[in-house]
Amino acid sequence: MELDALRNRYLAAVLAAGDEAALEEVRLAALGKKGEISAMMATLGKMEPEARKAAGAALNVLKDEIDAALRAKKSALADAALDARLATEWLDVTLPGRPRPRGTIHPVSQVTEEVIAIFADMGFAVAEGPQVESDWHNFDALNIPPEHPARQEHDTFFMARAEGDTRPPHVLRTHTSPVQIRAMEARGAPVRIICPGRVYRMDMDHTHTPMFHQVEGLALGRDISMAHLKWTLEEFCRAFFEVPSVELRFRASHFPFTEPSAEVDIRCSWAGGQLKIGEGDSWLEILGSGMVHPKVLAAGGIDPTQWQGFAFGMGIDRIAMLKYGIPDLRAFFESDLRWLRHYGFSALDMPTVSGGLSR
């Protein structure tokens, strides 16, 4: 009789519990260490063996019953809580989808990735340098002393100086060649790096913009020669323009930082107004190059009696225009959305040498 009353009381309490905290209180009152059922269990020891057996079994049944009720209520409360949450978090799946932002990869970024992939495959690391450069790195170290006419030809942007500062002003780098010096300083020899990046010249017409992109190459070793330069550039052009053969023409030229120097043209045709690389009777200049001048090696802290090598500098925008048939350089930097969508690349077009550079 006593147990029946207990059972009814606790089952009613379980039913009435409105949340997990109330339920826990019921559990403690009945089954907790100091709970009512536990207290009754403790009195079993004082009973006669026969009575203890019967009372013990009955208490255990009661305990299991209350425990089961507690568990059932607990999961019912959890279900109710989930239902309540779902009711507040509903989503109307019949609404029209949000338009995805239609960003594209800029041709300059895409071509930079292509160039990096090809040269990485040939063992060149990527190096970087600052765009605001000391005039020593941009000029002097590259064998362009202050009175050298090349300083004028570069149409340099000079940074403002603090008042009273008489040191030569920093410049916006006019080419990526100062990274040759920085790479020599940082890595010594032997070394094989390319450096893609922005360069600046005060120049603006339909084939020039005040900011454009170059990629510098530098390879130093004990006996690196013009032959290595020629092979490297041919290999690059074949991979980059994705044609089975290319023909390059090395034209003797002059740069203060290379000796000998060569400008490199690529064979092409303009038949029907369509540019084709690797065939035809026309030549297009694509880069400047040569053997690194001993004075430049010395400026980079490298012993010119022990080391030699080649360097080149190529216009990234220019080879992007050639490869993808983009007619106007200035459009690269006008941020016209129609142009960007037309000439831009999908974010998934990651260029790799093995997987194909472009599709």
For ligand PHE, how many residues bind (rule: CB under 6 A)? 10
* Subset of residues 296 to 315 that bind ligand PHE, contact rule: CB under 6 A: 311-313
Pairwise CA distance, residues 306 & 141, whole Å:
19
Pick between residue 110 and residue 289 the one whose CB is nearest to ligand PHE: 289
One of 27, 137, 151, 175 touching ligand PHE (CB under 6 A): 175
β-pairing, 258-269 vs 248-255, is antiparallel
Q: Does 138 bind ligand PHE (CB under 6 A)?
A: no
Pairwise CA distance, residues 104 & 181, whole Å:
35
Q: How far is CA 37 from CA 3, 41, 50, in A?
A: 9, 6, 20
Q: How far is the CB of 174 from ligand PHE (least distance, A)?
A: 7
Q: Is the peptide bond before 190 cis (omega within 30 degrees of 0)?
A: yes
Pairwise CA distance, residues 108 & 321, whole Å:
9
Q: How far is the CB of 94 from ligand PHE (least distance, A)?
A: 59
Pick between residue 110 and residue 258 the one whose CB is nearest to ligand PHE: 258
* Subset of residues 265 to 294 that bind ligand PHE, contact rule: CB under 6 A: 288-290
Give the distance between the most distant pair of CA atoms in the chain.
Answer: 118
CA neighbor of 200 nearest in space, from 257, 255, 159: 159
Enter the tokens of residue 290.
């040569």
Pick between residue 134 and residue 258 the one whose CB is nearest to ligand PHE: 258
* Subset of residues 238 to 257 that bind ligand PHE, contact rule: CB under 6 A: 255
Pick between residue 125 and residue 150 the one whose CB is nearest to ligand PHE: 150
Pick between residue 219 and residue 322 the one whose CB is nearest to ligand PHE: 219
What is the CA 322 to chain-centroid distance, rounded?
26
Q: Residues interacting with ligand PHE, by CB under 6 A?
A: 175, 177, 255, 258, 288-290, 311-313
